[in-house]
C-alpha cells in the first residue's frame, strides 16, 4: 500500500464583503429599524411631494368645523376652523421635518466643533470649552429656546436656530470623548510625526474614525429637534402663516375634550416620527458596531 502523503487541502478564504453591503446587511438584521426607516421615508416623501399630490392650501377653510373623520369626503375630518385636517398634516410635515433637519445640522456643527477642539487640544482649551458646555447644559433647554424665539421674529428659521443653539451639549461631550480616545492611537501619532497640520489631523484623520457614534446621535437629534419644534409651535412661538404639527395641536387644544381626534392625529404623527428616528438610530448603532457582526 502506498505511503504517499495525502494531498494538502488549502482552506478557502471567504470573499471580503463590500463595506456598504456589510452595513446594509447589519442594518437589515434589525427588523424594527427597517420598519422605522420605511415609515420615516414615507413621511419624507409625502412631505416633499405634497404640493404635487394635493394642490390645496392647508390654511383654507373648506367645510364646516368639527367634521368627524370619514364624513363629507374628508379622510381625517376638519378642525375647529373648518380646515381639512389631512391636508394640514401632510403639509405640516414639511415645516416640522425641515426645522428638525436644520436644527439637527446646526446642533451637530456646534457640538462637533467644540467637542473636537476640546478633545484634541486638551489643556486650557478643553477647560474653557467644557465650562461653556456645562453652562448651556444646566440651563433649561426649552425655556432658553422660548426666550430666543421671543426675542426675535418667530419664523421657522428662528425656531431652527434656537433649537440648535440649546441642544448641542450632548454632541459636544460625545465628540470630545471620541477625539480623546482616537488622538492617542498609532495612526494619529504617525500623522503628527510626519508633520501633518492640526487641522488636517482633526478633520481628515480623526473625524472620519469618530463619525459612527456621531451619526447615530444625529438620528436621535432629529427626533429631539422635532419635539422642540412641536413644543414651541404649541405655545404659539412659531410662524403663524406656516402649518406644522405642533401648530395644529396648539390651534385645536381648546377642542381636546370634545373632539380629541384634532389633537390626537398630529400628536400621533409626531410620536411615530420620533419613534422611527429612535429605531433608525438603533439600526445605525448595530450597523456601525463591529462587536455585533458575529452575533
Helical packing angle, 85-121 and 207-234, nearest 10°: 140
Q: Which residues contact 26 (CB under 8 A, 6 or more apart)?
A: 286, 287, 292, 293
Assigned C-alpha cell, 78:
376638519
Distance CA 109, CA 207 (A): 12
Distance CA 223, CA 97 (A): 9
Q: In degrees to the nearest 10, what's the CA dihedral of 130, 133, 138, 144?
A: 160
The pLDDT of residue 40 is 93
Residue pair 252/264 in contact (Cβ under 8 Å)? The answer is no
Confidence of residue 15 (pLDDT cuts 50, 70, 90): low
Q: Specify which residues 83 forms β-bridges with.
A: 61
Distance CA 277, CA 214 (A): 14
The secondary element (H helix, E strand) that includes residue 8 is none
Residue pair 165/152 in contact (Cβ under 8 Å)? The answer is no
Distance CA 156, CA 192 (A): 43
Confidence of residue 3 (pLDDT cuts 50, 70, 90): low
Q: Specify which residues 78 forms β-bridges with.
A: 84
Q: What percent of the chain has pLDDT over 70?
A: 92
Residue pair 288/216 in contact (Cβ under 8 Å)? The answer is yes
Is a pLDDT exceeding 50 seen at residue 58?
yes
Residue pair 149/158 in contact (Cβ under 8 Å)? The answer is yes
Over the stretch 180-237, which tens digit does the pLDDT of each residue have?
A: 999 889 989 898 888 889 889 998 899 888 888 888 888 888 888 888 888 888 888 8
Over the stretch 106-147, which tens digit does the pLDDT of each residue have?
A: 999 999 999 999 999 988 999 999 999 999 888 888 888 888
Closest CA to 225 of 132, 125, 40, 96: 96
CA triplet 261, 268, 260: central angle to 5 degrees? 20
**Cα Rg for the chain, rounded, in angstroms?**
25
Q: Which domains does the chain have, with CATH numbers?
A: 49-292 (1.10.3720.10)
Cα-based distances in Å from 244 to 67, 85, 94, 148, 177: 20, 12, 7, 19, 36
Residue pair 27/287 in contact (Cβ under 8 Å)? The answer is yes
Confidence of residue 259 (pLDDT cuts 50, 70, 90): confident
Over the stretch 90-114, which tens digit does the pLDDT of each residue have?
A: 999 998 999 888 998 999 999 999 9
Amino acid at each position: 500500500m502506498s505511503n504517499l502523503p495525502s494531498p494538502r487541502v488549502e482552506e478557502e478564504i471567504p470573499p471580503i464583503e463590500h463595506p456598504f453591503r456589510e452595513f446594509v446587511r447589519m442594518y437589515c438584521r434589525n427588523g424594527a429599524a427597517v420598519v422605522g426607516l420605511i415609515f420615516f421615508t414615507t413621511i419624507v416623501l409625502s412631505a416633499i411631494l405634497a404640493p404635487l399630490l394635493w394642490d390645496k392650501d392647508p390654511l383654507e377653510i373648506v367645510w364646516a368645523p368639527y367634521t368627524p373623520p370619514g364624513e363629507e369626503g374628508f379622510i381625517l375630518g376638519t378642525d375647529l376652523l373648518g380646515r381639512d385636517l389631512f391636508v394640514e398634516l401632510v403639509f405640516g410635515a414639511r415645516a416640522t421635518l425641515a426645522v428638525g433637519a436644520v436644527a439637527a445640522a446646526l446642533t451637530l456643527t456646534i457640538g462637533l466643533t467644540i467637542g473636537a477642539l476640546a478633545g484634541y487640544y486638551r489643556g486650557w482649551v478643553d477647560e474653557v470649552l467644557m465650562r461653556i458646555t456645562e453652562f448651556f447644559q444646566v440651563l433649561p433647554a426649552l425655556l432658553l429656546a422660548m426666550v430666543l424665539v421671543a426675542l426675535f421674529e418667530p419664523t421657522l428659521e428662528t425656531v431652527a436656530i434656537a433649537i440648535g443653539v440649546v441642544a448641542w451639549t450632548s454632541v459636544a461631550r460625545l465628540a470630545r470623548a471620541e477625539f480623546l480616545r482616537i488622538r492617542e492611537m498609532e495612526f494619529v501619532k504617525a500623522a503628527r510625526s510626519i508633520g501633518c497640520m492640526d487641522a488636517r489631523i482633526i478633520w481628515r484623520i480623526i473625524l472620519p474614525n469618530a463619525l459612527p457614534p456621531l451619526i447615530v446621535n444625529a438620528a436621535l437629534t432629529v427626533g429631539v429637534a422635532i419635539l422642540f419644534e412641536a413644543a414651541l409651535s404649541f405655545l404659539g412661538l412659531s410662524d403663524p402663516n406656516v402649518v406644522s404639527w405642533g401648530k395644529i395641536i396648539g390651534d385645536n387644544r381648546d377642542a381636546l375634550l370634545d373632539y380629541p381626534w384634532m389633537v390626537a392625529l398630529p400628536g400621533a404623527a409626531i410620536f411615530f416620527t420620533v419613534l422611527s428616528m429612535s429605531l433608525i438610530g438603533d439600526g445605525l448603532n448595530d450597523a456601525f458596531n463591529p462587536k455585533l457582526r458575529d452575533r
